[in-house]
Structure 1
Amino acid sequence: MPIVETNGLKLYYEERGSASAQPLLLIMGITAPGSVWEPHVAYWEKYFRCIVVDNRGVGKTDKPAGPYTTAQMADDYAGLLDALNLEKVKVVGCSMGSTIAQQLAIRHPQKVSSLVLMCPWARCDNVAKAIFQHIMTCKARFRPEEFSHYIQLLIYSKASWDDEKVAAELAEGRQQAAIGAEPQPLHALEGQAWACITHNALESLPTLTQPALVIGGKEDIFTPVWMAEEVAKAIPKADLYLYEKAGHIFHFEKLEDFNERVKSWLLVH
């Protein structure tokens, strides 16, 4: 099992694709293990050396007491890149993963060649802080399937809920959450949530020299459009693309277009 000791913890990762291809580091969001990248990695591994990781606090990676910070989690990844002898990588970060990616580019600019920032934020307003606090409360009080239901309501768009096939898949997902073998412990979820709440990179983003693709969904109620627009405006070399009729999980709702769009952008940048 591939484990790297970095920044005081054991970090689990997997590699997919050719070892000679351009390295692509994938950083997932709050509550999610690296395996959530599977529908994307299955496509991207044809073009890149994909490095898929379980963040601090989830999956097979250590789950120390929190709170965590996005800077701390970025340093986790810097240590991983050092251990893999990778001098410079392309980075795709989703949600909380986008905040970690921002910090990795800010704190270790020589390690990052380009960034794809999915449903990102540079800072939390009071609404965002309240949502993350409520996520912690729900995790503490809800059964796993109830917690899953709340997260689904945050991340899927109306178009998905109105699709009977997708709605049935979401119901199946809630059932699986009830019997999941490796649930994230409360203290680890709280650690990640505090990292999300306290992330504030707005003043540092203008210093980035790497090209960035900021991408999201126009119906995202979790991290609304203004957040993506603020990130894109702050980064000097940023492109912005927002999907119609898509929410926080736009990368599943618009899977084929997203996989191809990101692949094409990364091959140029």
Structure 2
Amino acid sequence: MTYVRSTDGTRIHYTRSGRPGGPPVLFIQGLGASKSGWALQRLATAPWYQAVALDNRGAGRSDKPHGAYDLEQMADDAIAVLDDAGIDTAHVVGASMGGAISQILAVKYPERTRSVTLACTAARNHAWREELLASWRANAVDGGMGAMSAEAMRWVIGPRSFRRLVPATGWLGPLALRRPSHAFAGQVDALLAADHTLVDRLGEIEVPVMVLVGNQDILTPRGDSEEIAERIPTAELVVISGAAHGFMIEHASTFNRILLDFLRRAERAWVRSSEPSAGSSSTDLAASA
């Protein structure tokens, strides 16, 4: 198991898989979720890409300090992972809260990103979503993670897939019942305290960006993704029909096909913009994806 100390001393756990020397892809998961939530994407990208997946502080095998967390610090955690892995630049893929972290990373560390994929996420919280997150936090703290799991599940998984995917609750986002409630609360606090001025800086992003959303997502609806795509000049918006918030699991084959196509195009664009001697092997790998 690989760990790195972040800037404040918190231990962050991450894994590397896929093709050694391939174009690196950094996967950042959402609220309460561990890197296991990217299992199907890491498998799909493995033949061509080097996948780096981290456990955000408060989830998985990373440290779970008490107190409120901060999204900007969590972006710094991701940079610490890249530094420890010896990766200068990566394609960044973030979902939900991980998408918010990815937006911060792309704005704060533009030199570290080759492309950004923002899945089922938002640039700011609406009042109704802040109230919902606060209620999840209260239920988790007062009654444990199980007290809010059934309610959260209905916001994450589409109605058609609800029964089929109920057994996956051990590794789906806020439904991961073994997560300590104080760590989940800390992540919620980070979301509730997020700096909404970030939305005004999204136009600074220059690398290719794909914004992905399911048309049945009720937690981060299509309007959130449309706002992000409108503010980033290089962004393309992709809407997956019949998909809800957890579509990287619920509609994994469609999600993976779209992601691989975008990564291939983004890697070619990055190579063209780099020095002629840089990334030649990556071009061959990405072109075959």
Q: Per the alignment, do residues 191 and 144 of structure 1 end up closer, same or farther by CA in structure 2, a change over 3 Å counting?
A: closer
Aligned equivalent of 2:111: 110
* Distance (Å, rounded) in 1 between the aligned partners of 2:150 and 2:181: 17
Aligned equivalent of 2:188: 193
- What are the equivalent positions in structure 2 for 1:195-210 lying under 5 Å apart? 195-199=190-194, 200=196, 201-210=198-207
Indicate whether 1:61 and 2:62 are aligned. yes
What percentage of aligned pairs have identical amino acids? 29
Indicate whether 1:252 and 2:249 are aligned. yes
- What are the equivalent positions in structure 2 for 1:29-178 lying under 5 Å apart? 29-142=30-143, 144-161=145-162, 167-170=163-166, 172-173=167-168
Q: What letter is aligned with 1:93?
A: G
Contact 1:124 1:198 in 2 (8 A): no
Q: Per the alignment, do residues 183 and 206 of structure 1 end up closer, same or farther by CA in structure 2, a change over 3 Å counting?
A: same
- The C-alpha deviation readout for 1:2-38, integer Å capped at 9, x for no partner, is 1111222111001111221000000000010101111
Contact 2:34 2:171 in 1 (8 A): no
Aligned equivalent of 1:164: none
Q: What letter is aligned with 2:36?
A: S
Task: Using structure 1 for the length normalisation, give the TM-score.
Answer: 0.91
Q: Per the alignment, do residues 182 and 218 of structure 1 end up closer, same or farther by CA in structure 2, a change over 3 Å counting?
A: closer
Contact 2:28 2:54 in 1 (8 A): yes
Aligned equivalent of 2:208: 211
- What are the equivalent positions in structure 2 for 1:255-266 lying under 5 Å apart? 255-266=252-263
Aligned equivalent of 1:4: 4
Match among 179, 183, 198 for residue 184 of structure 1: 179
Q: What letter is aligned with 1:192?
A: Q
Contact 2:41 2:256 in 1 (8 A): yes
Aligned equivalent of 1:228: 225
Q: Per the alignment, do residues 38 and 110 of structure 1 end up closer, same or farther by CA in structure 2, a change over 3 Å counting?
A: same
What is the aligned-residue RMSD (CA, Å)?
2.0
Q: Per the alignment, do residues 229 and 211 of structure 1 end up closer, same or farther by CA in structure 2, a change over 3 Å counting?
A: same
In structure 1, the gaps of 5 or more residues are: 162-166
DSSP-derived class of the 1:204 partner? helix
Task: Using structure 2 for the length normalisation, give the TM-score.
Answer: 0.85
Q: CA deviation at 1:123?
A: 0.6
Contact 1:59 1:182 in 2 (8 A): no
Contact 1:159 1:246 in 2 (8 A): no
Contact 1:145 1:174 in 2 (8 A): no
Aligned equivalent of 2:284: none
